[in-house]
């Protein structure tokens, strides 16, 4: 006799929703429409998004267009000083700002894992909407996919940003010049250490909070005051040391920085010492490095110190000459003891999943 089947038939499209994400939320049917209407449209509503067309039709812009895209997989989703939603907005806006761009529009793609609590999704979306509004940008199109339970990690977000660069602005590694001063916009390592401490349940003395913040306003202020910015880079994965190596290689230029001038908060310094980490390689989400001619340094610092996000800005070094040999050291740190240390790219990553 045939064995009785253990198959338990279920309706592929539940008649009612519940408090978690189901595969049907990504199936194009009623639950998906409900998700779009009650969560995404309610939070991100604007005239471009509300048409629900296959593409957002945007007005013509006066200037050169800058476009960037990034994906966010940070774990945990919520950490001191931010969450994956605010991080997705800040990170993409900052990439545009590093080119001198004025951020205008964002797209948002969500990959949701089956079983994700709806309340968690609402928290992330609400944070993302508030952050975008505070930054003066609109989320004009998006997409949602749902993957099987165990095939994702609650939420992954991809954002693409569109900004406008004024015709007079030219920022990039091609403008790095011997003698340029190197300015870092604030204390380093707070984001990476805040995420790590939350993820691992570690408690350190001091207030470890992510530095996640938008940088376009402070960059616009510098440009409006005619500061001659040669190059900018935000200090995300790999921290200051990796950013300097990438730019030195692109130049190519040698660079020397002074350890005693680099701002690092005591909570970050202490946590890094305990864990054996180098704060110069720890990620940030609201800090940048800037290269400019010596005659603009004092004015630039005066402007930077007027913004909360860059109150601790400091000159940390300068650009040297073009390397004389292919194997010449590009980035050197002058230590507090007067010795010199090579700052090279790491072979791996100190802290994965921090953005």
Q: What average pLDDT does the segment 107-115 reach?
A: 98
pLDDT tens for each residue of 226-257: 999 999 999 999 999 999 999 999 888 899 99
The helix/strand/coil state of 317 is strand
Q: With 70 as the cut, is the pLDDT of residue 146 above it? A: yes
Strand residue runs (E) in 44-202: 64-72, 78-79, 82-83, 102-113, 138-147, 155-165, 181-184
The pLDDT value recorded for residue 7 is: 52
CA–CA separation, 181 and 173 (whole Å): 14
Judge if pTM exceeds 0.85: yes
The pLDDT value recorded for residue 12 is: 52
- What domains are there in the chain, each with its CATH number? 23-165 (3.30.1330.10), 173-342 (3.90.650.10)
The pLDDT value recorded for residue 100 is: 97
Q: How confident is the model at residue 5 (pLDDT cuts 50, 70, 90)?
A: low
Q: What is the DSSP letter of 114?
A: T
pLDDT tens for each residue of 116-136: 999 999 999 999 999 999 999
The pLDDT value recorded for residue 207 is: 86
Q: With 60 as the cut, is the pLDDT of residue 292 above it? A: yes
Cβ distance 89 to 137 under 8 Å? yes
pLDDT tens for each residue of 175-234: 999 999 999 999 999 999 999 999 988 888 788 999 999 999 999 999 999 999 999 999
Peptide bond before 323: cis, by omega within 30 degrees of 0?
A: no
Q: How confident is the model at residue 6 (pLDDT cuts 50, 70, 90)?
A: low
Cβ distance 212 to 89 under 8 Å? no
Q: What average pLDDT does the segment 95-116 reach?
A: 98
The pLDDT value recorded for residue 213 is: 98
pLDDT tens for each residue of 22-76: 999 988 899 999 999 999 999 999 999 999 999 999 999 999 999 999 999 999 9
Q: How confident is the model at residue 273 (pLDDT cuts 50, 70, 90)?
A: very high
pLDDT tens for each residue of 67-97: 999 999 999 999 999 999 999 999 999 999 9
Q: What is the DSSP letter of 295?
A: G
Cβ distance 332 to 52 under 8 Å? no
Size of the chain, expressed as the number of residues it contains: 355
Please spell the DSSP secondary structure of 327-342, one letter per residue: TS--EEEE-TTS-EEE
**Average confidence score pLDDT of the chain:** 93
Q: Which long-range contacts (CB under 8 A, 24 or more apart) does 337-345 make?
A: 343/241, 343/244, 343/245, 343/257, 343/280, 344/241, 344/245, 345/238, 345/241, 345/242, 345/245
Burial class (CB in 10 A: 0-12, 13-18, 19+), 192: buried
């Amino acid at each position: 006799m045939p064995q009785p089947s253990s198959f338990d038939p279920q309706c592929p499209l539940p008649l009612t929703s519940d408090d978690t994400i189901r595969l049907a939320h990504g199936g194009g049917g009623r639950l998906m429409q409900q998700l779009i209407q009650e969560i995404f449209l309610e939070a991100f509503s604007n005239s471009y998004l509300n048409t629900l067309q296959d593409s957002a039709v945007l007005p013509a812009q006066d200037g050169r267009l800058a476009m960037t895209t990034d994906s966010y997989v940070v774990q945990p989703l919520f950490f001191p000083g931010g969450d994956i939603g605010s991080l997705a907005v800040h990170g993409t806006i900052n990439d545009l700002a590093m080119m001198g761009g004025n951020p205008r529009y964002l797209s948002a793609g969500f990959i949701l894992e089956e079983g994700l609590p709806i309340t968690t999704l609402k928290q992330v979306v609400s944070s993302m909407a508030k952050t975008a509004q505070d930054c003066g940008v609109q989320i004009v199109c998006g997409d949602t996919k749902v993957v099987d339970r165990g095939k994702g990690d609650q939420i992954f977000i991809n954002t693409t940003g569109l900004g406008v660069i004024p015709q007079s602005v030219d920022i990039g590694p091609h403008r790095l010049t011997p003698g340029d001063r190197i300015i870092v916009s604030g204390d380093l390592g707070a984001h990476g250490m805040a995420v790590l401490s939350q993820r691992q349940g570690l408690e350190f003395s001091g207030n470890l909070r992510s530095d996640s913040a938008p940088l376009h306003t402070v960059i616009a202020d510098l440009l409006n005051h005619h500061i001659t910015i040669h190059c900018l880079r935000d200090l995300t994965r790999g921290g200051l040391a990796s950013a300097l190596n990438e730019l030195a290689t692109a130049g190519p230029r040698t660079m020397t920085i002074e350890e005693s001038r680099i701002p690092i908060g005591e909570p970050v310094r202490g946590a890094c010492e305990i864990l054996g980490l180098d704060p110069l390689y720890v990620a940030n989400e609201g800090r940048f490095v800037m290269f400019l001619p010596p005659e603009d340094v004092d004015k630039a610092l005066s402007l930077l110190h007027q913004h909360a996000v860059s109150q601790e800005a400091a000159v940390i070094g300068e650009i040297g000459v073009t390397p004389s040999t292919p194997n010449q050291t590009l980035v050197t740190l002058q230590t507090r003891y007067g010795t010199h240390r090579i700052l090279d790219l790491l072979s791996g990553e100190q802290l994965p999943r921090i953005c």
